[in-house]
């Protein structure tokens, strides 16, 4: 039986969906399809294939559909379980402030706030502090359904091969079968670890896998009950992992933080303004490097509520200025060497972030050797070296991969990157809630323009063939000039 509150929420959402339909109609969105319907090997060619249907893939799909393009987004995850929110993330609430417009693409009824108020009302909105993690996933599910976005779940892209004939060939595994799809452009929207995977110290690879996890693994934390757990790192994921371990009854959780103090100020947040969002990509390389390196060095503080979630446990231990140097399994435990002395643990969690590592992304194996990264072209000033930045792809203004010197990969420029590692080249429009709409819209506008330009002969011929009269010739009667008097 549905409760009155639940019924009200359903009615609220229906009303919101009607308003959304109006807003889209007022803006004449989506545009009708205008690109030629191409076929290759008897199957339709997509204008754009998107790899990933997390928040970024959805926003990109929505923006491209609005521009009248034929798009499909593929995600290996089951429907509704894309991205970290309902899978590997362990925070109670989002870090991002509730009022951000997120992937709404400038349409008021597509915002989280509109979705929330439609169901729970303005008073509840005013009372809401931060967005609960799973509620954000519910919103993304609604976003996709309300826009009827073309997403294929359970479809893993296993290979991407650009070709000389202006097509990109994708191999896609689904339901135990492997098929090929062709697209004119491909957008990689595979998330924070999208061009690699977890970054863990080399000694972790020598430990039995039963003894450690990365914070992004979906391991069962209930197995940590009664154990001595070490969490390496001091960022948001470290706090979330530590808190989850404590909540399931870990005997002790030791946070091993290399820095002498936790970062307190989120410099990236302080840099955010429309100029930073729109203008960053135009900056000279030296400024891009300087900004991103500064933000990297300063680091992002863990959210206050996440830190308090850990600190309320008496068996949580914050060890600052303690670097982990090595660990071995001996005598049924982990013997950990730190810069402050030895520590005996049962399990280690590395909350050490992600890195670009092409080997961890087999779908990119064909193009990875050709892709230019920043270290191929740019040398930072002495003292400003930064491995994360050095390995970032050096993208063009169309979000496209560019070939490194001597590489032969025709069509590489048809593969576009909308993931976190694109941030050094293009700024904060390449992922995360604050500027994802700007990124999706810029990408959609750019791809629409590129597709138009490369089909110019087709569009010109269509213009010539266009024959819909606006006046019929019966509106007037032609007269000779009056005689000169």
Ligand X SMILES: Cc1cc2nc3c(=O)[nH]c(=O)nc-3n(C[C@H](O)[C@H](O)[C@H](O)COP(=O)(O)OP(=O)(O)OC[C@H]3O[C@@H](n4cnc5c(N)ncnc54)[C@H](O)[C@@H]3O)c2cc1C
- Which whole-number Å values give the CA distances from 396 to 100, 424, 439, in the listed order? 28, 11, 14
Within a 10 A sphere around the Cβ of 186, how many other Cβ atoms?
Answer: 25
CB 83, min distance to ligand X, A? 2
CB 82, min distance to ligand X, A? 3
Q: What is the number of the residue whose Cβ is closest to ligand X?
A: 54
| Under rule CB under 6 A, residue 301 binds ligand X | no
Pick the closer one to ligand X by CB: 343 or 393: 393
| Under rule CB under 6 A, residue 84 binds ligand X | yes
CB 454, min distance to ligand X, A? 26
| Under rule CB under 6 A, residue 55 binds ligand X | yes
CA triplet 101, 78, 436: central angle to 5 degrees?
A: 20
CB 241, min distance to ligand X, A? 9
| Under rule CB under 6 A, residue 109 binds ligand X | no
CB 390, min distance to ligand X, A? 22
Mark the segment that binds ligand X (CB under 6 A) among 27-35, 53-61, 316-324, 446-454.
53-61
| Under rule CB under 6 A, residue 192 binds ligand X | yes
Pick the closer one to ligand X by CB: 159 or 445: 159
Mark the segment that binds ligand X (CB under 6 A) among 161-169, 189-197, 266-274, 304-312.
189-197
The per-residue b/e assignment along 131-154, b for 16 or more CB within 10 angstroms, e otherwise, is bebebbbbbbbbbbebbebbbbbe
Q: In this chain, which of 35, 135, 237, 392 binds ligand X, going by CB under 6 A?
A: 237
Mark the segment that binds ligand X (CB under 6 A) among 47-55, 253-261, 321-329, 384-392.
47-55
Q: In this chain, which of 64, 89, 429, 451 binds ligand X, going by CB under 6 A?
A: 89
CB 73, min distance to ligand X, A? 9
Pick the closer one to ligand X by CB: 45 or 236: 236
Mark the segment that binds ligand X (CB under 6 A) among 23-31, 184-192, 326-334, 365-373.
184-192
Pick the closer one to ligand X by CB: 130 or 459: 130
Give residues 348-387 in contact with ligand X (rule: CB under 6 A): 363
* C-alpha to C-alpha distance for 170 and 434, rounded to whole angstroms: 31
In this structure, what are the phi and psi dihedrals at residue 438, rounded to the nearest 5 degrees? -60, -40
Pick the closer one to ligand X by CB: 171 or 335: 171
**What binding mask, one character per residue, do residues 315-354 give for ligand X by CB under 6 A, x or -?**
----------------------------------------
Within a 10 A sphere around the Cβ of 106, how many other Cβ atoms?
Answer: 13
| Under rule CB under 6 A, residue 57 binds ligand X | yes
| Under rule CB under 6 A, residue 234 binds ligand X | no
User: Are the C-beta atoms of residues 53 and 153 closer than 8 Å to each other?
Assistant: yes
Q: In this chain, which of 47, 388, 391, 432 binds ligand X, going by CB under 6 A?
A: 432
Q: 């034929």: which residue's tokens? A: 70
Pick the closer one to ligand X by CB: 75 or 394: 75
Mark the segment that binds ligand X (CB under 6 A) among 75-83, 115-123, 264-272, 331-339.
75-83
Pick the closer one to ligand X by CB: 57 or 427: 57
Q: Which of 33, 62, 31 is nearest to 142 (CA)?
A: 62
Pick the closer one to ligand X by CB: 246 or 322: 246
Size of the site for ligand X (CB under 6 A): 31
| Under rule CB under 6 A, residue 243 binds ligand X | no
**What binding mask, one character per residue, do residues 128-167 give for ligand X by CB under 6 A, x or -?**
----------------------------xx----------
- Which whole-number Å values give the CA distances from 98 to 139, 274, 307, 375, 382, in the listed order? 12, 18, 19, 37, 40
| Under rule CB under 6 A, residue 190 binds ligand X | yes
- Which whole-number Å values give the CA distances from 385 to 15, 142, 234, 347, in the listed order? 53, 43, 22, 33
The long-range contacts involving 448-455, CB below 8 angstroms and separated by at least 24 positions, are 448/64, 448/67, 448/68, 448/69, 450/185, 450/398, 451/35, 451/47, 451/69, 451/184, 451/185, 454/166, 455/35, 455/36
| Under rule CB under 6 A, residue 98 binds ligand X | no
Residues that bind ligand X (CB under 6 A): 51-57, 74-77, 82-84, 89, 91, 94-96, 156-157, 189-192, 216, 237, 363, 431-433
């Amino acid at each position: 039986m549905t409760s009155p509150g639940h019924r009200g929420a359903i009615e609220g959402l229906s009303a919101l969906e009607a308003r959304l339909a109006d807003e889209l109609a007022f803006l004449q969105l989506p545009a009708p399809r205008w690109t030629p319907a191409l076929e290759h090997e008897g199957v339709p060619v997509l204008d754009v294939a998107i790899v990933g249907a997390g928040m970024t893939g959805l926003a990109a799909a929505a923006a491209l559909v609005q521009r009248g393009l034929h798009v499909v987004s593929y995600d290996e995850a089951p429907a509704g379980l894309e991205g970290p929110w309902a899978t590997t993330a362990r925070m109670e609430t989002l870090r991002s402030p509730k009022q951000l417009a997120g992937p709404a693409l400038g349409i008021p009824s597509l915002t989280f706030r509109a979705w929330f108020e439609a169901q729970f009302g303005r008073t509840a909105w005013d009372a809401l502090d931060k967005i609960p993690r799973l509620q954000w996933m519910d919103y993304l599910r609604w976003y996709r359904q309300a826009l009827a976005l073309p997403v294929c779940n359970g479809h893993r892209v296993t290979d991407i091969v650009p070709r000389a004939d202006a097509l990109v060939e994708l191999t896609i595994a689904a339901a135990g079968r492997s098929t090929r799809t062709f697209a004119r452009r491909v957008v990689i929207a595979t998330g924070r670890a999208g061009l690699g995977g977890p970054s863990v110290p080399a000694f972790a690879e020598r430990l039995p896998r039963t003894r450690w996890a990365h914070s992004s693994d979906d391991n069962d934390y209930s197995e940590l009950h009664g154990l001595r757990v070490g969490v390496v790192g001091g960022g948001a994921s470290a706090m979330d992992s530590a808190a989850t371990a404590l909540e399931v009854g870990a005997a002790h959780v030791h946070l091993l933080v290399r820095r002498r103090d936790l970062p307190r100020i989120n410099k990236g947040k302080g840099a955010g303004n429309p100029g930073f969002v729109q203008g960053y990509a135009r900056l000279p390389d030296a400024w891009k490097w300087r900004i991103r390196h500064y933000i990297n060095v300063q680091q992002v503080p863990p959210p206050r509520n996440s830190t308090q979630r850990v600190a309320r446990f008496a068996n949580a231990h914050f060890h600052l200025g303690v670097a982990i140097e090595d660990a071995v399994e001996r005598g049924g435990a982990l013997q950990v060497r730190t810069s402050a002395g030895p520590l005996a643990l049962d399990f280690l969690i590395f909350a050490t972030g992600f890195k670009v590592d092409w080997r961890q992304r087999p779908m990119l194996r064909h193009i990875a050797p050709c892709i230019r990264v920043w270290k191929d072209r740019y040398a930072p000033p002495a003292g400003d070296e930064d491995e994360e930045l050095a390995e970032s792809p050096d993208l063009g203004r169309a979000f496209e991969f560019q070939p490194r010197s001597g590489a032969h990969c025709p069509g590489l420029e048809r593969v576009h990157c909308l993931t976190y590692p694109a941030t050094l080249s293009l700024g904060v429009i390449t992922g995360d809630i604050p500027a994802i709409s700007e990124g999706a819209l810029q990408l959609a506008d750019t791809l629409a323009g590129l597709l138009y330009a490369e089909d110019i002969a087709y569009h010109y011929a269509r213009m010539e063939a266009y024959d819909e009269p606006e006046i019929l010739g019966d509106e007037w009667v032609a007269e000779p000039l009056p005689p000169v008097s």
